[in-house]
Structure 1
Amino acid sequence: MYQFINEGSVTSPKGFKAAGIFCGIKKRKKDLALIVSDKLCNAAAVYTLNKVKAAPLLVSKEITDKDIQVKAVLINSGNANACTGEDGFMDAKFTQEYCADKLNVSPENVLISSTGVIGVKLPVQKVISGIDQIINVLSEKGGIDAAEAIMTTDTKIKSFAVKVRLSNGETTIGAICKGSGMIMPNMATMLAFITTDAQIQKPLLKKLLVNSVNISFNKISVDGETSTNDMVVLLSNGLSGVEVIEGSSDEKLFQKALNAISIEMAKSIVADGEGATKLITINVTGADTQEDADLVGKSLANSNLLKTALYGNDANWGRIMSAAGMSGANFDPAKVSISFDDHEVLLPHFQVMLNEEIAYKILSKKEYSINVNLNGGDFSSTWWTCDFSEEYVKINANYRT
């Protein structure tokens, strides 16, 4: 069984410390975070599929692709260090090496991550000065500061923790993430750092992470944009003394807890989408194949026409049908049924059941579901998206200023 600890909790898995400070990359806000384990961790990660990858991502990927343990993760916000060429790569390596030296470990034991403006040289000296400061303020309660320091256009700190009761004891999963705009699989302008004091071997750790990412971070969209810096990292230091063995009932329990915390993080990113006013769950059922279900869900989640209608509380179900039809999925339009929460608006053979007043009340809520039944096969898919407001345009029209 697992139990969530209050969002915003400072609870950390055993042996992990964190901190977040202002080092001068941004004008005023915290912009440097550090997560450190008391001992080396097994590490697994997934990264953006964008062909344009930021320098720190390339450095970190080289580590997690190998059987190398990790001591720490250094993250800066305000500067993506992307599209900065060889100089950017060397800057990333230099900050990694400097941080590793301060922690008395090898550079390959330190992952690095960046988020912010693309195409601007990393202010290395500010980061170096920040490393000197942040090393001295690491604490078991520093996760909230770290979560704040990785924010860009986010309006809310995103920090989560869950306790998992396994057959041989209790373990904790802690996580912070950021993301608000440029959000779409695979993956999004989002960073997520997950830690656990469970003892998990790397192959199983990667399996658990990929399974969770596929049903959480890869099922969200704010604006259909995939970024250059996205990563989700999972660290396991084993300091709880609780081991998760592949094929055991504990694996299933841990996977369920990891899925739950990943979904909560993913939903928090969409709910905090740039200019968003509501969180929408999209449930697609009755598809002939899993691919068809995912294609329809993704198309609805990315449809700007649908998302603007939802912002205006307009029950324009025709935009749902149109988005489904352009998805590339195989289905019979005449079999489709659609509902907003429990209110049926369309039944098979294009029977319109829409009650505008009921639909308006549902669409005016901060959170609701759009349910699309293709009435074909047995496959389903759940996605999360948000509406599109004028504020999104304002935020991104002035992103660098």
Structure 2
Amino acid sequence: MSARRHAALHPRPHSPHLRRLSSRTIQLLLVVVSLVSLSGFSARAALAAGDRDIYIPVVSTPNPAPTGKSVRQPLFWNKPKDASVETTASRASFIALPRVERSYRDSLRAKGFSGKAVQYFLANEVHGPGPYADASASCDSSLTPHVNQVAYLQGDFCRYLHPNEGWFLHNGAGKRLYSWSGGRVMYHMNPASAGWRTFALSRMVRDVLGDAVQGKLGFDGVILDNLALSTYKLRKQVDNSDGTIKEFGSDAAYREAVRGYLAILSGTLRPTGVIWANIIDDYRVSRDDYMGYVQYLDGWMNEAWVVSWNSDPLSDAEYNTNLEIAELTLQQGKGMIGNVIGSRYDYNRQAFGLASYLLITNNSKAYFRYSDPSKYGEWWQYDNYNVALGAPLGKRYAISGGWRRDFECGYVTTTPSARSGKIVYSCR
């Protein structure tokens, strides 16, 4: 903020500006002062006869500093082991938890938490025995499945999924794509399969809305983890990847299938329940491709927002795309979670992430967290989460090497190429 703008917004209290005036001039000035006082200003003058010097102090009162915090915090995946229920309830504005954490969720609500609480589901992965290459394998129905995916009841995999080969994705050799995760076999499912779509929807409906088998669990909706924007992970990173996905020859075809899957979920779960998603494989994906998913969602999370998973900073264009997607989402009345990854005591990186968030936040449905994905059980807190900058004076604008946004009580800047950010608070 320029010195001139700062002075205009925050005049120094009780600093008199003295004027030497003749008595004739004083008479005119008193008329002006009387008119000005009608607009909320006051002045005191002592008038003496003759041409004696008259001193009129002009006193300005600064606007009070805002009290509302500029940062809204989310809590997701794990309940924190380093924060009490009372502390978490007072700081969290949005929570995402698995179905087994309903008691903890209810404890937060009892202590005053009033935000959305959504239930975690893997978007297109299921836990099962094996790994099995195809449906010809004998299926072990004794497996106790993990609760973070839709086939969460014992026997679900063997009864509903295993016999339906078209529900699965396959590598170039025709074998089911799978990953080992935490000692579990996770199969990757086909978002274009009508059978898979129907089964996944039925389990989400059961938990969120309730059905003939079970009453609703009390969540406000769902969050779909690992909703991919490309086939990179499937082609390159799962345990039996061979560079090919039998069902999809291009990223565009895969995205079209996912959009169809989301449309099915959205048509039933919404608007009674909300749908959020942790969107992955978004590196160098266009804004339009990203927003193609957002049309079916109430909000999204980017787990490596504005920094990516790479060691090098994003290019200026890539960084700006991250901000533009967030701005477009918020303009549509939807939400976003910007999760910036880094080490706990890398304060410069944390400040860069937070300043980036402040460039785009509407202080309503935008949420920020700085964390290490391997330590989601820790809910790191920083002093700058308490900053109260007041209302933004406009949108972000370009400056040399980066971006800036002005607020009632300060400003923020970022330099993407250096992953640096500054948060300046000017009210006292």
TM, length-normalised to structure 1: 0.28
Q: Which has the higher strand share?
A: 1
TM, length-normalised to structure 2: 0.27
The structure whose Rg is larger is 2
